[in-house]
């Protein structure tokens, strides 16, 4: 296979030390350490590097290495000898994020590691702690001068995990807190959806092909759907999720970022700011919803108990650490408009939910019908609309649906598929989102990270919805049985007969209750 173009994944970053705050957390175990190990296995880590885990617990380097060996073995395709070699560069430093003295000790440790490992004074700090600690950590790093970067000392970068704020005001405050210590160019706000290969492929699909981009506008596109469905429930994350809900957890960040990639204008280059300027313009053009429009444009739901494939699954309110009266939405569907030249009049329907029938993330571009109905009565929709389905996960690929004539007399039509699966590419390794994003940050490429102004612009769209939900008790929360496609009311967002969401599979149950909560 011939591979054309820029391939940064072949570039090695400069030597550096990665410091993980929240090293005993789930993310470090499931994602960060396995991603770093995979980069090491693929020979993409710097020639000289060290990873320093920090946390409140007092652990020795060896204790931490033993924990990380378990994490890497459980969550990657690990080779024992290679894992051992990788772990030689892994260390642990106890840090209470509220204790300034601990940051002085951290600085001493980092200086000593830097000298021994020859990491040239380059530091990447990863904030993977609860968000309430972000500001503290950043201020303490600043007080020790650990944020300084210049030609003499090396670079210093900060990755901030989600959630980035819980509403518009807190996101603004967090931006200000971070920017008081780090320059915007040093801050990398992670949205792991941007690290997914198939999300990045949206850009290549659009701007690397001559076929589709001329059609990519209001003249040819009728509507666009973006779905992120999960079959799992809230699991052990009830404590966090009950305060967040689907709108904050998935829509404000991941889904709007995907909308940004689908709707943006071609950037003048693939430099970080050129790309991010264009996605920001999309977010700024999303039509704000007035309080009295929220009920008609947004549907929220919560899963109820249901029997799925013979298994009785609990309702959301029965999950661990969830309030028995909770009204938190585990499903949100939004109809939005992007008021600009390209998208005027084209509705975007976006939805995300937990405990739906399957796990699938996809964007569906519905093209307009042919202008003249040759194959049926003018009033009938006798052919399906042409659809382009960009399957983000799983079974990553691209599907084009078009109509053809059924063999035989007359002109009966049938929709057929042209289907590409990433899995058809032989010997191509599809890296995990965190691998790509960690590598990009070490390389100093922020293209796939959210900029502060974009995060705020997304919150600006979401905030009136949160406000309306809070202040208007007549806006309903609809119960939907686990294993179904969510509240039936979500179909009403489509106000044209015959239009509905795409359902990649059927409901898994007839059991359970659709109700108002
Ligand atoms: C996270 C959300 O950001 O994304 C989770 O907090 C969600 O609730 C997850 O399950 C989905 O990510 P992915 O990569 O599995 O689609």
Domain boundary among the residues 141, 161, 181 is at 161
Instruction: Say if 257 falls within a structural domain.
Output: yes
Burial string for 286-304 (b: 16+ CB within 10 Å, else e) reads: beebeeeebbebbbbbbbb
Tell me: the pLDDT tens digits for 432-466? 999 999 999 999 999 999 999 999 999 999 999 99
| 432 Cβ closer than 6 Å to some ligand 1 atom | no
pLDDT score of 8: 47
The reply to whether 150 and 204 lie within a common domain is no
Q: Which atom of ligand 1 is nearest to the CA of 254?
A: 3
Residue 432: cis peptide before it, omega within 30 degrees of 0: no
Choose among 172, 160, 133: nearest CA to 463: 172
The CA distance from 492 to 109, in Å, is 59
DSSP 239: H
Instruction: Say if 198 falls within a structural domain.
Output: yes
Instruction: Say if 305 falls within a structural domain.
Output: yes
Instruction: Say if 7 falls within a structural domain.
Output: no
pLDDT score of 426: 74
Domain boundary among the residues 161, 179, 202 is at 161
Catalytic annotation, pick one of 75, 254, 297, 366: 254
The CA distance from 181 to 477, in Å, is 41
The reply to whether 97 and 47 lie within a common domain is yes
The CA distance from 140 to 217, in Å, is 48
pLDDT score of 430: 82
Q: Which atom of ligand 1 is nearest to the CA of 232?
A: 10
Q: Which two tokens stand for residue 67?
A: 């924990």
Q: Report whether 234 contacts 354 (CB < 8 A).
A: yes
33-41 and 433-443 helices, crossing angle to 10°: 70
Query: In the sheet that 477-481 helps form, which strands lie side by side, from edge to edge?
Result: 413-421, 397-405, 387-393, 360-367, 221-229, 347-353, 331-337, 298-304, 477-481, 515-516
Q: Are strands 331-337 and 347-353 parallel, antiparallel or unpaired?
A: antiparallel
The CA distance from 417 to 125, in Å, is 46
Burial-class residue 473 by CB neighbours within 10 Å (0-12, 13-18, 19+). Answer: exposed
pLDDT by position in tens, the chain (length 517) = 444 444 545 688 999 999 999 999 999 999 999 999 999 999 999 999 999 999 999 999 999 999 999 999 999 988 999 999 999 999 999 999 999 999 999 999 999 999 999 999 999 999 999 999 999 999 999 999 999 998 888 999 999 999 999 999 999 999 999 999 999 999 999 999 999 988 889 999 999 999 999 999 999 999 999 999 999 999 999 999 999 999 999 999 999 999 999 999 999 998 999 999 999 999 999 999 999 999 999 999 999 999 998 899 999 999 999 999 999 999 999 999 999 999 999 999 999 999 999 999 999 999 998 887 777 655 555 567 899 999 998 989 999 999 888 888 888 888 899 999 988 887 778 889 999 999 999 999 999 999 999 999 999 999 999 999 999 999 999 999 999 999 999 999 998 888 899 999 999 988 778 888 9
Instruction: Say if 470 falls within a structural domain.
Output: yes
Alpha carbon 332 to chain centroid distance?
Answer: 16
The reply to whether 207 and 156 lie within a common domain is no
Mutate to test the pocket of ligand 1, among 229, 247, 249, 435 (most ligand atoms within 8 A of CB): 249
Instruction: Say if 486 falls within a structural domain.
Output: yes
| 435 Cβ closer than 6 Å to some ligand 1 atom | no
Q: Which atom of ligand 1 is nearest to the CA of 234?
A: 8
Phi-psi region of 317 (alpha: psi -120 to 50; beta: other; left: phi over 0): alpha
Domain boundary among the residues 111, 145, 161 is at 161
Helix/strand/coil for 6: coil
Taken in order 479, 483, 331, 390, the sign of the CA dihedral is negative
The reply to whether 220 and 342 lie within a common domain is yes
Helix (H) and strand (E) counts in the chain: 15, 18
Instruction: Say if 354 falls within a structural domain.
Output: yes
CATH for 255:
3.30.360.10
CATH for 68:
3.40.50.720
Whose Cα sits closest to atom 13 in ligand 1? Answer: 193
Burial string for 482-493 (b: 16+ CB within 10 Å, else e) reads: bbbbbbebbeeb
Q: How many domains does the chain have?
A: 2
Choose among 250, 269, 294, 346: nearest CA to 468: 294
Residue 122: how many CB atoms within 10 A of its CB? Answer: 23
The reply to whether 124 and 263 lie within a common domain is no
Catalytic residue flag (residue 104) = no
Helix/strand/coil for 369: coil
Choose among 92, 90, 122, 112: nearest CA to 12: 122
Radius of gyration of the chain (CA): 24
Q: Report whether 191 contacts 449 (CB < 8 A).
A: yes
Whose Cα sits closest to atom 9 in ligand 1? Answer: 250
The reply to whether 462 and 319 lie within a common domain is yes
Which residue intervals of 42-167 are DSSP H helices? 61-75, 80-87, 100-117, 134-143
Whose Cα sits closest to atom 6 in ligand 1? Answer: 249
Q: Which two tokens stand for residue 290?
A: 């007035």
Q: Which domain holds residue 266?
A: 194-361+385-394+451-516
Alpha carbon of 15 to ligand 1 centroid (Å): 31
Alpha carbon of 254 to ligand 1 centroid (Å): 9
Burial string for 395-405 (b: 16+ CB within 10 Å, else e) reads: ebbbbbbbbee
pLDDT score of 411: 83
Alpha carbon of 99 to ligand 1 centroid (Å): 32
The reply to whether 47 and 131 lie within a common domain is yes
The reply to whether 325 and 218 lie within a common domain is yes
CA distances in angstroms from 151 to 49, 121, 122, 155, 243, listed in the order given? 19, 10, 10, 8, 43
Taken in order 300, 306, 311, 315, the sign of the CA dihedral is positive
Instruction: Say if 418 falls within a structural domain.
Output: no
Degrees, nearest 5: CA angle 229-230-231: 125
The reply to whether 326 and 208 lie within a common domain is yes
Which residue intervals of 118-255 are DSSP H helices? 134-143, 168-181, 197-207, 238-244, 246
Task: Tell me which residue has tokens 């601990």.
Answer: 102
Q: Which atom of ligand 1 is nearest to the CA of 361?
A: 16
Q: Which atom of ligand 1 is nearest to the CA of 241?
A: 8
Q: Report whether 365 contacts 263 (CB < 8 A).
A: no
pLDDT score of 4: 47
Alpha carbon of 265 to ligand 1 centroid (Å): 27
pLDDT score of 420: 93
The reply to whether 354 and 458 lie within a common domain is yes
The reply to whether 157 and 239 lie within a common domain is no
| 249 Cβ closer than 6 Å to some ligand 1 atom | yes
Per DSSP, which regions of 231-297 are E strands? none
Alpha carbon of 405 to ligand 1 centroid (Å): 41
pLDDT score of 500: 92
The reply to whether 114 and 247 lie within a common domain is no
């Amino acid at each position: 296979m011939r591979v054309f173009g820029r391939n940064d994944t072949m570039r090695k970053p400069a030597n550096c030390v990665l410091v993980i705050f929240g090293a005993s957390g789930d993310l470090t175990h499931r994602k960060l350490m396995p991603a770093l190990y995979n980069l090491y296995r693929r020979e993409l880590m710097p020639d000289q590097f060290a990873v320093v885990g920090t946390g409140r617990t007092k652990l020795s380097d060896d204790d931490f290495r033993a924990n990380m060996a378990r994490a890497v073995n459980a969550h990657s395709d690990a080779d024992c000898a290679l894992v051992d070699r990788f772990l030689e560069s892994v260390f642990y430093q106890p840090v209470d994020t509220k204790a300034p003295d601990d940051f002085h000790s951290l600085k001493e440790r980092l200086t000593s590691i830097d000298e021994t490992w020859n990491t040239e004074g380059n530091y990447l700090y990863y904030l993977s702690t609860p968000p309430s600690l972000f500001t503290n950590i950043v201020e303490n790093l600043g007080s020790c001068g650990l944020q300084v970067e210049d030609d003499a000392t090396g670079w210093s970068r900060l990755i901030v995990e989600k959630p980035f704020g819980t509403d518009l005001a807190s996101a603004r405050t967090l931006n200000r807190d971070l920017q008081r210590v780090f320059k915007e160019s040093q801050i990398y706000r992670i949205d792991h959806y941007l690290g997914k290969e198939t999300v990045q492929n949206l850009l290549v699909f659009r701007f690397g092909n001559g076929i589709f981009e001329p059609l990519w506008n209001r003249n040819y596109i009728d509507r666009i759907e973006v779905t992120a469905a999960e079959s799992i429930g809230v699991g052990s994350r009830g404590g966090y999720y009950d305060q967040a809900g689907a709108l904050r957890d998935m829509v404000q960040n991941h889904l709007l970022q995907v909308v940004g990639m689908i709707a943006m204008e071609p950037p003048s280059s693939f430099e970080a700011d050129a790309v991010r300027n264009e996605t920001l313009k999309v977010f700024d053009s999303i039509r704000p919803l007035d309080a009295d429009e929220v009920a008609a444009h947004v549907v929220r739901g919560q899963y109820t108990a249901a029997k799925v494939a013979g298994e009785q699954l609990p309702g959301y309110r029965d999950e661990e650490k969830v309030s028995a009266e909770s009204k938190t939405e585990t499903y949100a569907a939004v109809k939005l408009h992007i008021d600009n030249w390209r998208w005027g009049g084209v509705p975007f329907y976006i939805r995300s939910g937990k405990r739906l029938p399957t796990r699938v993330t996809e964007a569906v571009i519905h093209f307009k019908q042919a202008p003249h109905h040759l194959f049926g009565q003018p009033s009938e929709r006798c052919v399906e609309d042409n659809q382009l389905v960009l399957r983000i996960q799983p079974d990553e690929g691209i599907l084009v649906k078009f109509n053809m004539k059924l063999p035989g007399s007359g002109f009966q039509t049938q929709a057929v598929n042209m289907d590409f699966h990433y899995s058809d590419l032989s010997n191509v390794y599809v890296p995990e989102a965190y691998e790509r994003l960690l590598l990009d940050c070490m390389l100093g490429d922020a293209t796939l990270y959210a900029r502060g102004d974009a995060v705020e612009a997304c919150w600006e769209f979401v905030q009136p919805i949160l406000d309306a939900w809070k202040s208007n008790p007549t806006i309903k929360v609809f119960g939907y049985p686990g294993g179904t496609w969510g509240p039936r009311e979500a179909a009403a967002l489509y106000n044209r007969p015959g239009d509905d969401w795409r359902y990649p599979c059927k409901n898994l149950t007839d059991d359970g209750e659709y109700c108002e909560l």
